[in-house]
A and B are shown apart, each in its own frame.
Chain A
Amino acid sequence: MSETPVLRVADITKTYHVNSSVLARLSRGDGRKSSLSALDGVDLQLNKGEILALVGESGSGKSTLAKILVGSTTPTSGEVDYHGAPMPLHRDKDASRRIQMVFQDPYSSLNPRISVGSMLKELLLLHKIVPRSEVRAESVRLLNLVGLEEDALQAYPSQFSGGQRQRIAIARALAVRPDILIADEPVSALDVSVQATILELFASLQRELGLSILFVAHNLAVVQHLSQRVAVMYLGRIVEVAETAELFRNPRHPYTRALIDSIPRMSAESINEEFVLEGEPPSPFDIPPGCRFNPRCPYASDACRTTDPALATVAPQHESACIRASELDVLAITLTQRTAGESAA
């Protein structure tokens, strides 16, 4: 792919310094680290017109990355390139217009005291998207685009359900005509029955408006049929990136395998049933040496405990940060046999 990605981040890190007062340090006494590394060298690119899913557990840093992309948080180091040019650290009105966000919680993302119509009107006029006389028509067009009717204009957010609120939030994001949409777990707060309709809405926005969408999720199942590519994140780093079908067919990182296996299925088959991810991710205060996944990895070798692998190409359009990426299939079979043998004995 030679085309310039619409959005590209290079070696982004984000470190939070936890406020450690003199008193707190005295009482703790030990030399525990007081800085938290939310993102630790993230490289990612979003291509024009694609939906890229960003998947990871809670605390993996995906929301922090989303906030950095829209400019509401500044990275500790690294930069965000928009169409090949770096985005300024503090974005002006026009720069922030181009990358819009849809939030996880549709309740806190809409102002309870501003009606849908005046919310859209404010944005349309502020950015001079349409002349004053066409504001109403444009607002109705936006509402129809997200599957709502004109009569929603006069209403306040409290009069809508969660799914409808999320549609309104999407309409707001689209009002300023962005070309990138960052969706931070936009369906995880919704009923399962509503999730599908919102996912379908994102797909149609991509088709019809040619939007490039970064879709953050904590669950691979949600994005399986939506995204073109998937990036898997673990503890502040991208561990695997591939096209969706390729990732599901041929996962090259043990963590991705665990995520795929954790998707509930009607059939009994899966890549390997025995591999269940145990425990919680290590504290971001104290990232393990070597590969950051090694304490939970069933295939971890001695080398895994000392080398910190970078993303490397393992197949066309497929990158993984696992030094044993090529051996995984064999290892998985061995593991299955071993556990089968144990349970037989």
Chain B
Amino acid sequence: MTTPTAALVSFKERRRAVRSRSIKPWYRNGSLMAGIIIVGLLVLVAVLAPVLAPYDPVAQHLTNALASPNAAHWLGTDKFGRDVLSRLIWGAQVDLRVGFLAVLIPFVVGSVLGAIAGYFGGWLDTVLMRIVDIFFAFPFYVMVIVLVFIFGSGEASIYIAIAAVSWVSYARIVRGEVLIAKKQDYVVAARLGGMSHARILVRHIGPNVLSQAIIYGMSDIVMDIMAIVTLGYLGLGINPPTAEWGSMINDGQEFITTLWQQATIPGLVVVITSLGLSWLGDGLSDLLSPERRK
């Protein structure tokens, strides 16, 4: 069999042209790098907490309570004489872990349900989306606080509460993206290629719709850390005496006029964490958006 006469297109030449005018590489993306550095440092601190923290975060020394920052305790001690810096470092472990895990569950559940609703449509879509609407009707914090109240405070009930409330956002985002993607001709082509619905959904539609959910997930981690901190502040979060930023702010606020750093420093750390995650999400959205590949 001979090759058709149509000129063989030198693809290499074209690829070179595309590369040269392509968007800056990922390491040149300012917000992505800032996000990676901040979040990376925080994760490092959390992982190395046992090494980095100078004191046991829960050991009480009532004789040395409410010390001002000094050489031995850089950020002073709280009302039970616990080292504030050590609690801050151990708090990173708890808050980041809860933040990431509390996003993972709703991310998976919401994306799967949203994808199924969007792809198959019909009554399944109607039922699922009406349930989503019901969940959306309640304010986030009200729902979370009620659920944590029902399940009792502690890490597990925080996961359940946040997952129960925030899966709906992922379901909505992924459903919308699937609705767009399933009308594309490449989905029709995949059907003509004899592929099953499951294969099309996972391999052909999935990679095209998940980037939006991942980007949202980054900002959701921020939301969840704020929620944990808020719950901790309200006394509904992680059980004391575990070191956690929210409860540290709560503990420190009594002494805001004399020992301002006890409430303010954990608060600043929360702000920096949020900023880092937001930048990371922003950078990821640049990186994952399909336009980058066009």
B14/A112 in contact, CB under 8 A: no
With A70-B192, A108-B184, A111-B204 given, is the CB distance from A155 to B5 under 8 Å?
Answer: no
With A94-B194, A111-B208, A144-B3 given, is the CB distance from A149 to B8 under 8 Å?
Answer: yes
Chain B contact patch, size range: 20 to 34
In whole angstroms, what is the CA distance A104 to B6 when docked?
20
A96/B207 in contact, CB under 8 A: no
Chain A contact patch, size range: 35 or more
Residues in A neighbouring B3, C-beta threshold 8 A: 144-145, 147
Q: Which of B1-17 contact A (CB under 8 A)?
A: 1-12, 14-15
A112/B208 in contact, CB under 8 A: yes
Q: Does A110 contact B (CB under 8 A)?
A: yes
B33 to chain A, nearest CB (A): 24
In whole angstroms, what is the CA distance A172 to B15 when docked?
21
Q: Does A160 contact B (CB under 8 A)?
A: yes
A111/B14 in contact, CB under 8 A: no
In whole angstroms, what is the CA distance A105 to B183 when docked?
12
In whole angstroms, what is the CA distance A146 to B5 when docked?
10
Q: Does A301 contact B (CB under 8 A)?
A: no
A176/B15 in contact, CB under 8 A: no
- The 0/1 profile, CB within 8 Å of B marked 1, for residues 112-141 of chain A is 111000000011001100000000000000
Residues in A neighbouring B207, C-beta threshold 8 A: 113-114
Q: Does B44 contact A (CB under 8 A)?
A: no
B258 to chain A, nearest CB (A): 57
> Which of A97, A101, A151 is in CB contact (< 8 Å) with B194?
A97
B8/A148 in contact, CB under 8 A: yes
Residues in B neighbouring A169, C-beta threshold 8 A: 189
B288 to chain A, nearest CB (A): 10
A100 to chain B, nearest CB (A): 6
Q: Does B188 contact A (CB under 8 A)?
A: yes
> Which of A100, A114, A151, A204 is in CB contact (< 8 Å) with B4?
A204
A201/B4 in contact, CB under 8 A: yes
Residues in A neighbouring B204, C-beta threshold 8 A: 111, 114
Residues in B neighbouring A173, C-beta threshold 8 A: 189
Residues in A neighbouring B293, C-beta threshold 8 A: 112-113, 156, 158
Residue of A nearest to B1 (CB): A208
Q: Which of B59-76 contact A (CB under 8 A)?
A: none
Q: Does A200 contact B (CB under 8 A)?
A: yes
Residues in A neighbouring B5, C-beta threshold 8 A: 200, 204
Q: Does A159 contact B (CB under 8 A)?
A: yes
Residue of B nearest to A141 (CB): B1
Residues in A neighbouring B203, C-beta threshold 8 A: 114, 122
Residues in A neighbouring B194, C-beta threshold 8 A: 92-94, 96-97, 126-127, 176
Q: Does B152 contact A (CB under 8 A)?
A: no
Residues in B neighbouring A123, C-beta threshold 8 A: 193
Q: Does B241 contact A (CB under 8 A)?
A: no
In whole angstroms, what is the CA distance A233 to B104 when docked?
54
- The 0/1 profile, CB within 8 Å of B marked 1, for residues 207-233 of chain A is 010000000000000000000000000
B184/A155 in contact, CB under 8 A: no
With A93-B194, A112-B293, A145-B3 given, is the CB distance from A172 to B189 under 8 Å?
Answer: yes
Q: Does B18 contact A (CB under 8 A)?
A: yes
In whole angstroms, what is the CA distance A47 to B3 when docked?
25
A145/B4 in contact, CB under 8 A: yes
Residues in B neighbouring A208, C-beta threshold 8 A: 1-2, 4
- Which among A94, A113, A146, A164 has the highest number of chain B CB atoms within 10 Å? A113
Residues in A neighbouring B192, C-beta threshold 8 A: 70-72, 96, 99-101
- The 0/1 profile, CB within 8 Å of A marked 1, for residues 171-209 of chain B is 000000000000011101111111100000001100110
B6/A200 in contact, CB under 8 A: yes
> Which of A114, A155, A200 is in CB contact (< 8 Å) with B11?
A155
Closest 4 CB pairs of A and B: A93-B194, A109-B185, A204-B4, A147-B6
New contact pairs (19) apart from A72-B191, A204-B4, CB-CB < 8 Å: A72-B188, A93-B194, A96-B192, A96-B193, A101-B189, A105-B185, A109-B185, A109-B186, A111-B186, A112-B208, A114-B207, A147-B4, A149-B11, A151-B11, A164-B14, A172-B193, A173-B189, A200-B6, A201-B4
Q: Which residues of B contact A (CB under 8 A)?
A: 1-12, 14-15, 18, 184-186, 188-195, 203-204, 207-208, 290, 293-294
Can you identify 16 A-B contacts, CB atoms within 8 angstroms? A72-B188, A94-B194, A103-B188, A109-B184, A113-B207, A114-B204, A127-B194, A148-B8, A148-B11, A149-B8, A152-B11, A159-B18, A173-B189, A176-B193, A197-B6, A208-B2
